[in-house]
Amino acid sequence: MKKKLKELNDITAELYDIGFAQSLLGWDRETYMPVGGAEARGQVVATLGKISHKKATSPKVGKLLDELVKYAEDLDPDSDEARIIKNSKRGYDQRTKVPPEMVAERIMITNAASMGWREAREKSDYSIFQPHMEKIVNFAQRFVDIFQPYDHPYDVLFDLYEPDMKTADVIKVFEDIRPKQVALIKAIAEKQQVEDKFLHQKFPIETQKKIGAELIAALGYDPKNGRQDVAAHPFSTTIGYGDNRITVRFDENFFNPYMFAAMHETGHAMYSLGIPKDNYRTAIYGSCSSALQESQSRLWENLVGRSKPFWEGYYPKLQEYYPTQFGNVSLDEFYKAINIVKPSLIRVEADEATYNLHIMLRLEVEVGLLDGSIKVKDLPEMWNSKINEYLGITPPNDSVGVLQDIHWSMGLMGYFPSYALGNLISASLWEKMLLDLPDMDDQIRNGKYSNLLGWMNDKIYVHGSKFFPQELVEKITGEKIIGDAFIRYLNKKFGEIYNL
Amino acid sequence: MKKKLKELNDITAELYDIGFAQSLLGWDRETYMPVGGAEARGQVVATLGKISHKKATSPKVGKLLDELVKYAEDLDPDSDEARIIKNSKRGYDQRTKVPPEMVAERIMITNAASMGWREAREKSDYSIFQPHMEKIVNFAQRFVDIFQPYDHPYDVLFDLYEPDMKTADVIKVFEDIRPKQVALIKAIAEKQQVEDKFLHQKFPIETQKKIGAELIAALGYDPKNGRQDVAAHPFSTTIGYGDNRITVRFDENFFNPYMFAAMHETGHAMYSLGIPKDNYRTAIYGSCSSALQESQSRLWENLVGRSKPFWEGYYPKLQEYYPTQFGNVSLDEFYKAINIVKPSLIRVEADEATYNLHIMLRLEVEVGLLDGSIKVKDLPEMWNSKINEYLGITPPNDSVGVLQDIHWSMGLMGYFPSYALGNLISASLWEKMLLDLPDMDDQIRNGKYSNLLGWMNDKIYVHGSKFFPQELVEKITGEKIIGDAFIRYLNKKFGEIYNL
């Protein structure tokens, strides 16, 4: 049986390698690929996708799994071996249900859609993206159909990012936190507002880059194992063991977008790089789920990067870099400004108090698209009306409205809820971490992040994808994913900032 | 049979796509990959190589070819179909002889060797590279053995780059030109020498980059279809239709290395980009051979880039970019300086009169390594003694001696002769082109390169890899590859410069 398991692992290793090649092809498409290479790139990605799918769904894998699943019945269900077999079986069952033509179709659709989205977003012209989006939604509907029966059609998509979680789970959590966040936002709106206009000045890109490179290395992202490049949308991607790269974008006239995206993506990168080599290229390698990934990115972006202790330590240095911009801005003013709560249009730039509302909107829209109650052609109108309902503001154009996110163009429907869940998990982890490392504020103030990283490593990274997200969160915090810690965190932080 | 041919072409298309993914993995390794990703990168490349080899050598392909080869007997032997079948059969026969383990072994060896070479070259320490080179030579010997019988063991390697050519062909040509080049060099040495010290000044890298980017676009290398990045060794690589990239390196204290490498690599890129889309991803797509590729790179680097008319047109602009460096240097002085003939250590920086001697040396060394008459451990000594014999100079260290070229580390034994053949072909093509476009000097002087590019396109690019190199050269010039035109070119050009 050891031999059979090795055979399975060898095939999984090849699938990982093909996946890493695809990651590089994807990274390159977003960073350095000349535009004239787009069509050929689509074919290369489609070919690799086809080869990968064929290999992953081969009868040989099915036969190996039939035997290994029986063998696993006598193993400790939490052993690496048992989990490798369980995850492999799960993946095999999911993939064998999808016909190879649909796999190739998905790649061709999303490749064209990515280019279409980029152009549509640049020109703020939804009509360029609409035909792509029609295909994406139609594909998602056909994809979901394959997996009948289900409790909720959205489950099929959501489960791709949060294994074993249900739409009902996330709706329940959202229903719990929504009124609490709305109440907080309302209370804040009635108070003296925060001034942040000094964040909107000229910040030379070269200086931003320099600060960022220094800072992300200080957090623990080793340049030997990564790099930052410019792309339209910040992301983090693993190209192989020891190589996780982030992308960022610069705004010369606004301090926040680069700085916090860099810390956000660094959180992803450190998680990915922290997954141990022992089980490299097996079915328990990789991160637990998108929400767990987001818990790390949001933790470094917000619980560290937007915290008072962090800036108590780092602000004097920042002032040296930006003497004219921040020389006359006190630490307190700066801290409040980067934590301003103000309903805004762009999800990735939203403050912590309103962020989850952006996600709730997207969940509603995606569910509506999937069940046909929202038509693709009506999307901009629907978007604008919903964001008005949620946040009381209206996008001046689709570029900062329905076209702002890359996800749909990549076929990532079902992904958005993970962002909000990540926020919730990050706060739950933080409360738990403070019990073990009560002087964390001091450590952060002194620029010492290694214990924090070590804690995350021991609790999360070390497990790779061995556990499902609800299992892992429960294992660490004693409870499944809930919003309590996050709401406590918001109320405390913004209570202080806004004198609530 | 059309259906069978389509089946074959579909498989070839997938092989191309895997190859393009590998090209990107290779490009990235030399340009942007963080060092920590090296080991994983080796595995990815090996996995893709294994998949590609398995697909290319599958019994299915063998069976298709058996039938198609018979079918091709009744086709016009110069038709696309017949040539696709012929080239496919040739490739299949070559590949099926090599066991899959050796394919994987080659990738692992060369991946490690590339890293080893880089370090050895940086530290100028041959001992770091020696164990890698032992493996490479040992591998080459075993590889050659598989293809017995042969006229000459080196034929097996040489044929990988120059299909259907023999070592005897290249030795014959080299024996013809060697005394003529030696006589020319000797005659030059006895004359008043050229002054080139103004080429060794400070040239800010940003300015070099700017000039280069402008210039290569003006030559006809569309930035929509390519890019230039920095790597230890300049190269050109095709990542897919419409995406051919070059790499360059900068020397802030010497004008030549970047400028002429950029034009050289641009020649490669324009050839690759000019191959028509019609037969994309079939066995007659791609360039004819390495020598034909080099004929293009050397043509743009030397017959254009080091010509009097080119600088008559471009030198005033260059002087504007470098007023302090070249303000007081006349066109004539500049032209002579960039054409200085002076035995030197680095092949890629060698002048046109001595360049081929560098190749002859390498051919001797490679043949000696292959037949065991030269031992890997003795390579630096052997190299230094031979370069002294050929050029009368001795490398001060191995970095500028035996370690200067990346080729062996990539497993490219048998490749070097193509460079010299490329020089010969470039001059033969030029003579032929002048019959059709007698005012080419004027066109170049006026910065008009489109007719020249168009001529190369019609004669060479359009054929892809349909013909073998000797066939194609004969088709264009009426003769197989010979050195006559090249020697005429050298004698005329340097006769004028050195008043011979």
pLDDT in tens, A476-491: 999 999 999 999 999 9
Which is nearest to B107 in space by CA: B411, B412, B415, B408?
Answer: B411
The residue type at B64: L
Question: Omega into B179 within 30° of 0, i.e. cis?
Answer: no
- Name beta bridge partners: A229: A247
| Rounded Cα–Cα distance for residues B124 and A62 (Å) | 52
Which is nearest to B42 in space by CA: B18, B56, B22?
Answer: B22
pLDDT above 70 coverage of chain A, percent: 100
Q: What is the pLDDT of residue B349?
A: 85
Q: Which residue has the tokens 């000094």?
A: A198
- The answer to whether B339 touches B493, Cβ cutoff 8 Å, is yes
Query: Would you say residue A101 has pLDDT above 90?
Result: no
CB contact under 8 A, A25 and B24: yes
A328 at interface of B, judged by CB pairs closer than 8 A? no
Q: pLDDT band for position B312 (50/70/90)?
A: very high
| Rounded Cα–Cα distance for residues B381 and B364 (Å) | 14
The residue type at A68: L
| Across A41-53, average pLDDT | 93
CB contact under 8 A, B43 and A242: no
Query: Would you say residue A107 has pLDDT above 90?
Result: no
Contacts of A223 in chain B (CB under 8 A): 34
Q: What is the pLDDT of residue A385?
A: 94
Q: Is A75 helix (H, G, I), strand (E, B) or coil?
A: coil
CB contact under 8 A, A241 and B13: no
CB contact under 8 A, B241 and A35: no
Tokens of B151: 């006229």
As a whole number, the mean pLDDT across chain B is: 96
Q: What is the pLDDT of residue B100?
A: 82
CB contact under 8 A, A240 and B13: no
Which is nearest to A268 in space by CA: A299, A242, A239?
Answer: A299
- Name beta bridge partners: B244: B238
Contacts of A281 in chain B (CB under 8 A): 43
| Across A293-312, average pLDDT | 98
| Active-site residue identified among B105, B134, B190, B265 | B265
For A156-207, what is each residue's pLDDT tens digit?
Answer: 999 999 999 999 999 999 999 999 999 999 999 999 999 999 999 999 999 9
| Rounded Cα–Cα distance for residues B370 and B368 (Å) | 5
Tell me, letter by letter, the H, E, C secondary structure of chain B: CHHHHHHHHHHHHHHHHHHHHHHHHHHHHHHCCCHHHHHHHHHHHHHHHHHHHHHHCCHHHHHHHHHHHHHHCCCCCCCHHHHHHHHHHHHHHHHHHCCHHHHHHHHHHHHHHHHHHHHHHHHCCHHHHHHHHHHHHHHHHHHHHHCCCCCCHHHHHHHHHCCCCCHHHHHHHHHHHHHHHHHHHHHHHCCCCCCCHHHCCCCCHHHHHHHHHHHHHHHCCCHHHCCEEECCCCCEEEEECCEEEEEECCCCCCCHHHHHHHHHHHHHHHHHHHCCHHHCCCCCCCCCCHHHHHHHHHHHHHHHCCCHHHHHHHHHHHHHHCHHHHCCCCHHHHHHHHCCCCCCCCHHHCCCCCHHHHHHHHHHHHHHHHHCCCCHHHHHHHHHHHHHHHHCCCCCCHHHCCCCCCCHHHCCCCCCHHHHHHHHHHHHHHHHHHHHCCCHHHHHHCCCCHHHHHHHHHHCHHHCCCCCHHHHHHHHHCCCCCCHHHHHHHHHHHHHHCCC
Q: pLDDT band for position A386 (50/70/90)?
A: very high
| Across A140-162, average pLDDT | 97
| Rounded Cα–Cα distance for residues B120 and B110 (Å) | 14
- From the candidates A243, A246, A277, A285, which should be mutated to test the interface with B, based on the most B CB atoms within 10 A? A243
Contacts of B43 in chain A (CB under 8 A): 13, 17, 240, 281
Please say if B265 is a catalytic residue: yes
What Å distances lie between residue A479 and A420, A423, B81, B274, CA to CA? Answer: 17, 15, 67, 62
- Name beta bridge partners: A246: A228, A236
- From the candidates B28, B31, B44, which should be mutated to test the interface with A, based on the most A CB atoms within 10 A? B44
The residue type at A268: H
CB contact under 8 A, B40 and A222: no
Tokens of A382: 């629907």
Nearest to B36 among A13, A32, A243 (CB): A243
Q: pLDDT band for position B101 (50/70/90)?
A: confident
For B119-140, what is each residue's pLDDT tens digit?
Answer: 999 999 999 999 999 999 999 9
For B332-362, what is each residue's pLDDT tens digit?
Answer: 999 999 999 999 999 988 999 999 999 999 9
B245 at interface of A, judged by CB pairs closer than 8 A? yes
CB contact under 8 A, B32 and A226: no
A40 at interface of B, judged by CB pairs closer than 8 A? yes
Mind telling me how many Å the CA of A272 is from chain B's nearest CA?
13
Length of chain B measured in residues: 500
- The answer to whether A88 touches A80, Cβ cutoff 8 Å, is no
CB contact under 8 A, B44 and A240: yes
Q: pLDDT band for position B213 (50/70/90)?
A: very high
| Across A405-432, average pLDDT | 96
Query: Would you say residue B453 has pLDDT above 90?
Result: yes
A241 at interface of B, judged by CB pairs closer than 8 A? yes
What Å distances lie between residue B241 and A22, A350, B225, CA to CA? Answer: 17, 40, 9
Query: Would you say residue B104 has pLDDT above 90?
Result: no
| Rounded Cα–Cα distance for residues B199 and B326 (Å) | 9
Q: What is the pLDDT of residue A369?
A: 97
Q: How far is CA A216 from the centre of its chain?
A: 18
- The answer to whether A134 touches A440, Cβ cutoff 8 Å, is no
Q: What is the pLDDT of residue B72?
A: 97
Q: What is the pLDDT of residue B111?
A: 84
Give B 201-230 residues with CB within 8 A of chain A: 222-227, 229
| Rounded Cα–Cα distance for residues B310 and A383 (Å) | 58
For B7-63, what is each residue's pLDDT tens digit?
Answer: 999 999 999 999 999 999 999 999 999 999 999 998 999 999 999 999 999 999 999
- The answer to whether B428 touches B474, Cβ cutoff 8 Å, is no
| Rounded Cα–Cα distance for residues A368 and A375 (Å) | 8
B41 at interface of A, judged by CB pairs closer than 8 A? yes
Q: What is the pLDDT of residue B478?
A: 97
| Across B150-164, average pLDDT | 97
- Tally helices (H) and strands (E) across chain A: 21, 3
- Name beta bridge partners: B361: none
As a whole number, the mean pLDDT across chain A is: 96
Contacts of A276 in chain B (CB under 8 A): none
**Complex-level ipTM:** 0.93
Q: Pairing relation of β-strands B228-230 and B236-240?
A: unpaired
Count the alpha carbons within 13 Å of A134 in the hemisphere toward its beta carbon: 7
pLDDT above 90 coverage of chain B, percent: 95
Nearest to A44 among B224, B240, B245 (CB): B240
B254 at interface of A, judged by CB pairs closer than 8 A? no
A108 at interface of B, judged by CB pairs closer than 8 A? no
Length of chain A measured in residues: 500
Q: What is the pLDDT of residue B123?
A: 96
Q: Which residue has the tokens 């999307």?
A: A379
Q: What is the pLDDT of residue A56?
A: 96
Q: What is the pLDDT of residue A115?
A: 87
Q: pLDDT band for position A233 (50/70/90)?
A: confident
A44 at interface of B, judged by CB pairs closer than 8 A? yes
| Rounded Cα–Cα distance for residues B454 and B497 (Å) | 30
CB contact under 8 A, A51 and B225: no
First and final C-alpha spacing in chain B: 62
- The answer to whether A485 touches A434, Cβ cutoff 8 Å, is no
What Å distances lie between residue A498 and A311, A341, B480, B491, CA to CA? Answer: 18, 9, 85, 85
CB contact under 8 A, B37 and A223: no
The DSSP symbol for A61 reads H
Query: Would you say residue B233 has pLDDT above 90?
Result: no
CB contact under 8 A, B36 and A224: yes
Count how many pairs of residues, chain A against chain B, have C-beta atoms within 8 Å: 126
E strand map for A102-254 = 228-230, 236-240, 243-248
| Rounded Cα–Cα distance for residues B426 and B433 (Å) | 10
pTM comes to 0.94
| Rounded Cα–Cα distance for residues B123 and A124 (Å) | 52
Q: What is the pLDDT of residue B409?
A: 95
Nearest to B224 among A36, A47, A245 (CB): A36
Q: What is the pLDDT of residue A348?
A: 86
A81 at interface of B, judged by CB pairs closer than 8 A? no
